[in-house]
Amino acid sequence: MTTPFLAAALIAALAAPSTAMYSSAPVPHAPGRPVLPVVIDPGHGGDDLGAVVKGVREKDIALVVALKLKARLKDLPVLLTRDSDHYVPLDKRVVDSVDSNGAIFVSLHLNKIRSHKTSGVTIYSYGPDRIRRKPRPRRHPNVLPLPAPPRTEASASEFLARSMAKSLNAAGIPVKSEKSDYYILKNPSQPSVLIELGFLSNPEEAAKLVGAAYQNLLVERLAEAIEEYAAEHAPRGGSPEPVIP
Q: Answer whether residue 102 shows pLDDT above 70.
A: yes
Taking residues 126-132, report their average pLDDT. Answer: 75
CB atoms < 10 A from the CB of 87, how many? 13
Q: Answer whether residue 35 shows pLDDT above 80.
A: no
Q: Answer whether residue 76 shows pLDDT above 90.
A: yes
Longest alpha-carbon distance in the chain: 50
pTM for this model (two decimals): 0.81
What is d(CA 174, CA 202) in angstroms, rounded to the nearest whole number? 14
Q: According to the model, what pLDDT value does residue 21 have?
A: 63
Where residue 240 falls among pLDDT bands split at 50, 70, 90? very low
* Model confidence pLDDT, tens digit, residues 164-179: 999 999 999 999 999 9
The larger pLDDT score, comparing residue 140 to residue 124, is at: 124
Where residue 141 falls among pLDDT bands split at 50, 70, 90? low
Q: Answer whether residue 54 shows pLDDT above 80.
A: yes
Contact, 107 vs 180, CB < 8 A?
no
SS3 149: coil
Where residue 234 falls among pLDDT bands split at 50, 70, 90? low
Backbone angles phi, psi at 97, to 5 degrees: -70, -35
The larger pLDDT score, comparing residue 36 to residue 186, is at: 186
Where residue 143 falls among pLDDT bands split at 50, 70, 90? confident
Pick the range with the lowest mean pLDDT from 92-96, 119-123, 208-212, 236-240: 236-240
The larger pLDDT score, comparing residue 231 to residue 242, is at: 231
Where residue 235 falls among pLDDT bands split at 50, 70, 90? low
Q: According to the model, what pLDDT value does residue 135 have?
A: 54
Q: Domains in the chain, please, with CATH? A: 33-127+152-233 (3.40.630.40)
Q: Answer whether residue 140 shows pLDDT above 80.
A: no
The larger pLDDT score, comparing residue 21 to residue 146, is at: 146
The larger pLDDT score, comparing residue 91 to residue 31, is at: 91
DSSP 169-195: HHTT--EEEEEE--GGGG-SSS-EEEE
Contact, 39 vs 102, CB < 8 A?
yes
Pick the range with the lowest mean pLDDT from 55-59, 119-123, 232-236: 232-236
